[in-house]
Amino acid sequence: MEIKYSKIANSLKASEIREILKLSEMPQIISFAGGMPASETFPIKELAKISKKVIEEDGNIALQYTATEGYTPLRETIAKERMTKLGVKTSAEEILIISGSQQGLDLIGRLLIDENDTVICENPSYLGALNAFRLNNPNLIGIPMDKDGMIIEELEKVLATDTTVKLIYTIPDFQNPTGVTMSLERRKRLAELATKYKVIVAEDSPYGELNFNKRTLPSIKSFDRDGYVIFIGTFSKILCPGNRIAWMCAKKEILEKLTQMKQAVDLQSSTLSQRIIYFYINKYDIEAHIENINTLYLKRRDVMINAIESFFPKDVGITRPSGGLFIWVELKQEIDTAELLKKALTLNVAFVPGKAFFVDADKRNFLRLNYSSMNELKIEEGIKRISKLLTKYYN
Ligand SMILES: Cc1ncc(COP(=O)(O)O)c(C=O)c1O
């Protein structure tokens, strides 16, 4: 068989790491690899009740096609509740329901990027976004980060010299993979730079409400005077990812284009899922639900950090996120974490090697640990197993 694939399909390569990480799904593995929310937090009974009711009482609509923009009451609730919490005054007209924030990233790529246009992101950044943008053959530039997020002076250097920049992609809250949060000052500055250089900022915030200090910073979108910021939010991490319901908030004229794009891609997001999420939010207390999730994740983060401090060699560097799902670990320069993963799997423990999160640099001595999906006993045991592998490099 000889299939004449497109250039882009031909350019896709199987990832060795992805193949290895499939092993981490085996039940005996203590996996810190995925970015999964804890499934024991899903409100299963409540969602089962609502699903039954929505289908029985409203099935002729809930199982039918619907408008591409999404279910209006859900759009109104998102505008009024979720966006207000982030300091954004908006209305249903500026909200598009999408099938996971991942679809938002795909649509933004299609909306803005022509071949060789520059896309700027944090370095390291979320691999799923980089891969979505790569489908449009951009020139990806990674901006280094410090404890306050993307270093804005470095960003401005690129904006001042590269006239082909079309998009700045950022995850300002408890970033994937580092857990780092962008400071208030930098959020304001980034919104200003977007206007100054007339470049769209995609603000991807799946973790913003997973905040252990209850000190939610205003979103970049809240400082956006001229409509250059597109905000992407999702129910994946604050409720459950399986419904695939998320949203984009953008100025009306941009949203109309995104809606046309979405229509071509999948017509609409699931009518049924949208209604289930809407009725859940209306009948139950989602704020209390998010607080419960945060209590659990804070406990797990503490167990992981305490275990790292007790068992890892002293000069291993880690981030200490006050929200989200991930800790980012820097090991000695000579340690290749892809090789370390192979050894870790023989001890039935897994993590993600850091290399794939970097845009260009070949950095092999980082790894990402997820603390949300394993229970406390497994977290401690898994960290002990990884530390056994590390000690031999540090003595
Ligand atoms: C930064 C970031 N953006 C987007 C996504 C995709 O989330 P969703 O389930 O809403 O598609 C993830 C998933 O882990 C993520 O970490």
Atom of ligand 1 nearest to the CA of 103: 11
pLDDT range class, residue 170, cuts 50, 70, 90: very high
Domain 7-43+288-394 top-level CATH class:
alpha beta
Q: Does the CA dihedral 201-206-212-214 come out positive or negative?
A: positive
Distance in Å, CA 237 to ligand 1 centroid:
8
Distance in Å, CA 56 to ligand 1 centroid:
32
- What would the pLDDT profile of 24-51 be if each residue is shown by its tens digit? 788 999 999 989 999 999 999 999 999 9
| 286, 279 contact by CB (below 8 A) | no
Residues with CB under 6 A from ligand 1: 35, 100-102, 126, 128, 171, 176, 204, 206, 234, 236, 241, 246
pLDDT range class, residue 389, cuts 50, 70, 90: very high
Structure tokens, 282: 């209306």
pLDDT range class, residue 216, cuts 50, 70, 90: confident
Distant-in-sequence, close-in-space partners of 48: CB < 8 Å, separation ≥ 6: none
The count of other CB atoms within 10 Å of the CB of residue 35 is 21
Distance in Å, CA 242 to ligand 1 centroid:
12
Greatest C-alpha distance within the chain: 68
- What would the pLDDT profile of 354-380 be if each residue is shown by its tens digit? 999 999 878 999 999 999 999 999 999
Among the ranges given (9-18, 152-161, 325-334), the one the predictor scored with the smallest mean pLDDT: 9-18
Pairing of strands 95-98, 246-249: antiparallel
pLDDT value at position 24? 78
Mean pLDDT computed over 294-298: 98
The answer on pLDDT for 14 being more than 80 is no
Atom of ligand 1 nearest to the CA of 236: 9
pLDDT value at position 395? 72
pLDDT value at position 204? 98
The answer on pLDDT for 346 being more than 80 is yes
- What would the pLDDT profile of 262-273 be if each residue is shown by its tens digit? 999 999 999 999
The answer on pLDDT for 304 being more than 90 is yes
pLDDT value at position 5? 94
CA distances from 128 to 19, 102, 141, 322 (A): 16, 7, 16, 23
* E strand or H helix at 38: none
Please provide the average confidence, as pLDDT, over all residues in the chain: 96
Mean pLDDT computed over 222-240: 97
The residue contributing the CA closest to ligand 1 atom 11 is: 100
Q: Which of 236, 277, 328, 357 to mutate to test the pocket of ligand 1 (most atoms within 8 A of CB)?
A: 236
Distance in Å, CA 206 to ligand 1 centroid:
6
The count of other CB atoms within 10 Å of the CB of residue 94 is 23
Q: What percent of the chain has pLDDT over 70?
A: 100
Distant-in-sequence, close-in-space partners of 90: CB < 8 Å, separation ≥ 6: 79, 83, 249
| 207, 174 contact by CB (below 8 A) | yes
Atom of ligand 1 nearest to the CA of 35: 14
Q: Which residue has the higher pLDDT, 117 or 25?
A: 117
Domain boundaries of the chain, sorted by first residue:
7-43+288-394, 64-283
Distance in Å, CA 392 to ligand 1 centroid:
35
Distance in Å, CA 210 to ligand 1 centroid:
13
How far apart are alpha carbons 283 and 274 in whole angstroms?
Answer: 14
The answer on pLDDT for 217 being more than 80 is yes
DSSP H helical ranges for the chain: 7-11, 16-22, 44-62, 72-77, 83-85, 101-112, 127-134, 152-161, 184-197, 252-266, 271-283, 286-311, 337-346, 376-394
Q: Hey, which CATH number is domain 64-283, 3.40.1230.10, 3.40.640.10, 2.160.10.10, 3.40.50.2300?
A: 3.40.640.10
How far apart are alpha carbons 203 and 222 in whole angstroms?
Answer: 11
Instruction: Please check whether the two domains, 7-43+288-394 and 64-283, share a CATH topology.
Output: no
Q: Which residue has the higher pLDDT, 61 or 22?
A: 61
